[in-house]
A and B are shown apart, each in its own frame.
Chain A
Amino acid sequence: MNDRAQSTLKIITNESGLEVKPLYTAADVEESGGTTMLGEPGEYPFTRGIHREMYRKQPWTMRQYAGFGNPHDTNQRFKYLIANGQTGLNVAFDLPTQIGLDSDDPLAAGEIGRVGMSIDTLRDFEVAFDGIDLDKITVSMTINGAAAIAIAMYLAMAEKRGYDVKKLRGTAQNDILKEFIGRGTWIFPVEPSIKLVGDTIEYCAEHAPKYSPVSVCGYHIRESGATPAQEMAYAFCIAKAYADEVIARGLAVDEFAGRLSYNFNIFGNLFEQVCKFRAGRSLWAKIMKEEYKAEKPGSMWLRMIAAGGGGGLTFEQPELNIVRGAYYALISALSGTQTMALCSYDEAYTIPTEYSARISLRTMQILIEEMGMTETVDPLGGSYYVETMTNRMRDKMEEIIAETDAQGGIVKLVSEGIIQAKVSAQAYQMQRDIESGKFPKVGVNRYRNEHEDEHPVEFHPYNEDDARVQVDGLNKVRAERDSAHVARTLAAVSEAARAGANVMPAIVEAVKAYASVGEITKELVKVYGRYQEPIRF
């Protein structure tokens, strides 16, 4: 047998475990299920896109993740990004804020403003968004454990500035189940955490119907070691858990499903990624239509940010991450995403500087302006390979969902740490495969530089003084607010929680009285308690 024959006989599988053949023909498409799930863009089952004209009408929203120091610092970075053509904001909060601690909490010491901006009260939201037109720029907030409070603060800030909350758009990440799998900014135990997500969905459906209260994240599950098919399958299981919570309260699926959104990762094999998104779009539509009996097309749409790609970037030869970022952006565009953001090339080292954030933004702008990516909908549609793999990926996702349900469902598996152990074992195997060279990574196990250069990465400076400024600001708000009124609104939060009622109206009142993130969290902890992490290997 000659080398050529051998190379075509070697079995190649993608990360999701599906075989990739050297050639695809019409027969493969037929054998994989044909084109019954293809349809037209803007029509069920939306494989080719949720809108008929897609980027012809409007290119994807560009929404780089940004935030550091205090709200004033972050406001400056927001304005810089907007001035450079960014069309949405994605707010990074520091860890104390994300887990419900005030900046003067002893546990917050050393962490204030480090990985995002620090928020204590509504005053900080007022500063962070000062001068930004919330009708023109939609705001997405990466916050989960303390999401109910952040949503309340955002809505209160907008209302105070005269916006009609009924028309206000925006997104909160607010996907707590994935925080138990990866990322780790949980506060409360699993059950009350899901209840809180339900409260935000229910509250927004009535009071802020254009606001997207949840962005279900496959992203971090993938970063924790999941395959692309698992990433999307687990995300759907999680979204169904939230939908079930809200439906159990008596809401109809069409009252809230249209405001559910998603966040997915974009690193890995280009074709596997594109097929993941096309498959996922039709599978979610099918789940919503057949299982949940949704009637509005909007309830069936897989609206998403396809973004990041952090797990694919490397510490070695960091400039190569600019090139990887361009391919990831291409994947995202070919996949028909609504929103895009890229991890910047220096993110393995530091939070992005203005310079590196601008390169990410320009990367997306080049796709729009120079590469023809906005001219034609679903340009890879009809490829024998892409259509076959889209069908196979959909089958694989359905298989994973069925397996998860058969084992007791996602909530049980996450509560017991079983999903965590599974993806962590996969992450370990992947790391071993990278170190052995079995899984290729340029600059890491292929084409390493003889002598690693002194990496030309400029470090974003951490300002030790930010913490003091933030605590001073909090103390000033505490001195100026009506403390008796604050105490009354805080008591109402724990009362609502104890009664099992929706806590959002009480949180909104507390926030308007300038109660802090930490104070409101403590009221909820009184009733819900705190999560204890299961350690499983």
Chain B
Amino acid sequence: MNDTGQQRRIKVLLAKPGLDGHDQGAKIVARAMMDAGFEVIYTGLRQTPEQVGRIALEEDVDVIALSSMAGSHLPFCRKLKPLLEENGLHDKLWLIGGNLPAQDHDALRELGFKGIFPTGSKLDAIVAYIRENVREHVA
């Protein structure tokens, strides 16, 4: 709830980390989030950890979501975690989706990525997860 008593729109940063050019999935998820009434900032391709950290801070987002299809999710997230923490964004909801082998999920969770949505995840499940967990954060 904000000052006016109305529920604030959930604001999501959706980023394409690294050099991966496969953005069909990210764009589909962005549309699903917009249809759900979220405000979505989609970065486009080739974002560095520094860029993701900076945009997340400047835009004051509730959710930081990454879409990774080309296998570099772990090295990227290892670099992103301290940057998000330095920017005081540790209490935001960190999500990652895409081609994420099950064997990497524990490592991603340990890096602070609470929501993991591998290939095959449903759009409604992603939206519901954000609604539930952002409310928790805001409260």
Partner of B72, one of A111, A224, A459: A111
Interface: B9 (CB within 8 A): no
Measured between beta carbons, the chain B residues less than 8 angstroms from A197 are none
Partner of B31, one of A107, A108, A424, A444: A424
Partner of B48, one of A107, A184, A444: A107
Interface: A161 (CB within 8 A): no
A184-208 near B? 1/0 per residue, CB < 8 Å: 1100000000000000000000000
Given A95-B19, A182-B24, A185-B21, the answer on whether A462 and B31 have CB atoms closer than 8 Å is no
**Stretch of A26-34, A270-278, A426-434, A480-488 that contacts chain B:** A426-434
Interface: B131 (CB within 8 A): no
Partner of A315, one of B22, B24, B42, B118: B118
Interface residues of B in 120-137 (CB under 8 A from A): 120, 122-124
Measured between beta carbons, the chain A residues less than 8 angstroms from B8 are none
Task: Check B101 against A459 for contact (C-beta < 8 Å).
Answer: yes
Partner of B24, one of A95, A110, A185, A224: A224
The distance in angstroms between the C-alpha atoms of A432 and B27, with both chains bound, is 13
B87-125 near A? 1/0 per residue, CB < 8 Å: 000000000000101010000000000000011101110
Interface: B45 (CB within 8 A): yes
Measured between beta carbons, the chain A residues less than 8 angstroms from B19 are 95-96, 98-99, 101, 107-108, 111
Measured between beta carbons, the chain A residues less than 8 angstroms from B118 are 315
Closest B residue to A348 by CB, please name it.
B119
Main SS class of interface, B: loop
Interface: A183 (CB within 8 A): yes
Measured between beta carbons, the chain A residues less than 8 angstroms from B103 are 459
B31 to chain A, nearest CB (A): 4
Given A184-B45, A350-B101, the answer on whether A111 and B70 have CB atoms closer than 8 Å is yes
Main SS class of interface, A: loop
Task: Check B99 against A349 for contact (C-beta < 8 Å).
Answer: yes
Closest A residue to B76 by CB, please name it.
A110
Task: Check A535 against B18 for contact (C-beta < 8 Å).
Answer: no
Partner of B27, one of A110, A179, A427: A427
Task: Check A424 against B27 for contact (C-beta < 8 Å).
Answer: yes
Task: Check A537 against B44 for contact (C-beta < 8 Å).
Answer: no
Most buried by B among A95, A108, A179, A316: A95
For the A-B complex, the count of residue pairs with Cβ-Cβ distances under 8 Å equals 86
B35-79 near A? 1/0 per residue, CB < 8 Å: 000000010111010000000000000000000001110111000
Task: Check A115 against B123 for contact (C-beta < 8 Å).
Answer: no
Closest A residue to B34 by CB, please name it.
A537
Task: Check B21 against A179 for contact (C-beta < 8 Å).
Answer: yes
A96 to chain B, nearest CB (A): 7
Task: Check B45 against A533 for contact (C-beta < 8 Å).
Answer: yes
Measured between beta carbons, the chain B residues less than 8 angstroms from A96 are 19
Interface: A223 (CB within 8 A): yes
Measured between beta carbons, the chain A residues less than 8 angstroms from B119 are 315, 348
Task: Check A432 against B123 for contact (C-beta < 8 Å).
Answer: yes
Interface residues of A in 509-537 (CB under 8 A from B): 533, 535, 537
Measured between beta carbons, the chain B residues less than 8 angstroms from A428 are 27-28, 31-32
Interface: A435 (CB within 8 A): yes
Task: Check B27 against A183 for contact (C-beta < 8 Å).
Answer: no
Interface: B30 (CB within 8 A): yes
Interface residues of B in 7-30 (CB under 8 A from A): 18-24, 27-28, 30
The distance in angstroms between the C-alpha atoms of A183 and B120, with both chains bound, is 20
Most buried by B among A184, A349, A432: A184
The distance in angstroms between the C-alpha atoms of A183 and B101, with both chains bound, is 21
Interface residues of A in 79-132 (CB under 8 A from B): 95-96, 98-99, 101, 107-111, 114-115
Interface: A425 (CB within 8 A): yes
A222-244 near B? 1/0 per residue, CB < 8 Å: 01110000000000000000000
Closest B residue to A96 by CB, please name it.
B19
The distance in angstroms between the C-alpha atoms of A462 and B74, with both chains bound, is 12
Closest B residue to A351 by CB, please name it.
B71
Q: A114-B70, A315-B119 are in contact. List 11 more A-B contacts (CB 8 A).
A: A96-B19, A111-B70, A114-B71, A183-B22, A184-B23, A349-B101, A427-B24, A427-B28, A428-B31, A428-B32, A537-B27
B interface residues, Cβ below 8 angstroms from A: 18-24, 27-28, 30-32, 34, 42, 44-46, 48, 70-72, 74-76, 99, 101, 103, 118-120, 122-124
Which 3 residue pairs of A and B lie closest in terms of their CB atoms, listed nearest first? A184-B21, A110-B75, A95-B19
17 A-B residue pairs with CB within 8 Å? A95-B20, A95-B21, A98-B19, A107-B19, A107-B48, A110-B18, A110-B74, A110-B75, A111-B19, A184-B46, A348-B119, A424-B27, A424-B31, A425-B31, A428-B27, A435-B123, A535-B42
